[in-house]
Structures are given as C-alpha cells and as structure tokens.
Amino acid sequence: MTEDGAYVLEDTGESLEDYDVDNAAEEASGDTQSSPSPAPATGSSSQALQEENQKLKDQYLRRLADFENYRKRVEREKGDYFKYALSDIVRELVPVLDNFERALASSAGDPPSELRTGVEMICKQFSDALSRSGVRSVGEPNVSFDPTFHEAVMREENESVPNNTVVDVFQKGYFLHDRLVRPAMVKVAVGGPEKSESESESES
C-alpha cells in the first residue's frame, strides 16, 4: 500500500486503480481454455478393445457349443441305456425259446395232442412277448452269408447253389431293436457260382 492509500502490485508497481480487471479475466480464461484436455482413445487402443471383445465372444460361443454337445450326448446315452437295458435278459431268455422250438420240431410227426397244443401256445406267447419288447429273430436259409449277424460254424462244398449261401440254420440269431444280441449259427455253401448283382440287391 502506498502513502496515498492505493494498492500496488508487487511485481509491476501498478496501482489497483490502474489495473485492467477485464483484461486480467480474459487472460485467465485463455489460460484455462489452453490447458490440455484428456487425450481421446487412439485407434490402436480401440482396435485392441474390439479384438478383446471378439475373443470373449468366441470363448462364450465355444463354451455354449460344448455344453450343447454334452447335453445331446447325455440324452443319447440315457436313451440308449433304456432302449437296450433288456439286452442281458434277452440273451438269457432266447435259449428257452430255442428249446420250445426244438421240442415242437422233434414232435412234428406225432399225432396231435393237448400237450403239443399247450407247448405251441406257450411258445407263441413267449415269442410275442419278446417281439413287443423289440426282439426279432434272424437266420433264414438260402440267403447270402452276412458276417454282421451270421456265425459260420460249418462249411460245405456245394456247386449247386451260389457261393457263400446259407444252406442250414442251426440256431437263430436275435436283435434287440437294431443291436445284435446273438448271431445266427449257420452252415455255408462254398465253391458255387457267384451271385449276380440283381440277386444280391433283391435279398437286401
């Protein structure tokens, strides 16, 4: 403060009365506007974020696909379990049916009797029950040998029939739905002519 009571700036010695307040305000505003603002995201950082987002999206889709495959596999295994749960039981029961059929075949020339009629009824009832559970027999003669459900226990030279023809069935085979429970035991003729394509297609 000077002797006349005016305020003086220390750096210039100017009095407060001579000081341009408006000019000072504009300078202060200019300093504020010229202060650096936060730099916007560069192109490289934006690209990195997009790549990270795509990576996370791909991971999510892979996990989702893995879970869906797992769910389908579990459902399929569960269905197969219930579908083929009777396999062991059927494997134990079909020999009983074999014995019924052998008994009827051995007494085919005997006079009709109530015993035979009763055995025929039991055999049919037993066979029908297995059929309702999805069991079907396989093993007819005069067809081409198929290793997927035939088991050749005997071979004979026979030129009168096509080669690899089943000429006799010793024991029927059985399927449970589309799964082989027991192969058919058969005799196969060899040494004959090969079957033509039309004959093979007619059998299939």
- CA–CA dist 70, 90 (Å, integer): 31
Distance of CA 133 to the CA centre of its chain: 25
- CA–CA dist 164, 194 (Å, integer): 8
Q: Read off the pLDDT of residues 14-32 as tens digits, 9 standing for 90 and up.
A: 544 444 545 554 555 555 4
Amino acid letter, residue 117 = T
* CATH label, 87-203, candidates 3.40.50.150, 1.10.300.10, 2.30.22.10, 3.40.50.300: 2.30.22.10
- CA–CA dist 168, 186 (Å, integer): 6
pTM above 0.75, yes or no: no
Domain boundaries, the chain: 87-203
Distance of CA 172 to the CA centre of its chain: 32
Q: Read off the pLDDT of residues 39-90 as tens digits, 9 standing for 90 and up.
A: 555 667 888 888 889 999 999 999 999 999 999 999 988 888 888 888 999 9
Report the SS3 class of residue 180. Answer: strand
> 189 exposed, middle or buried (CB, 10 Å; 0-12, 13-18, 19+)?
buried
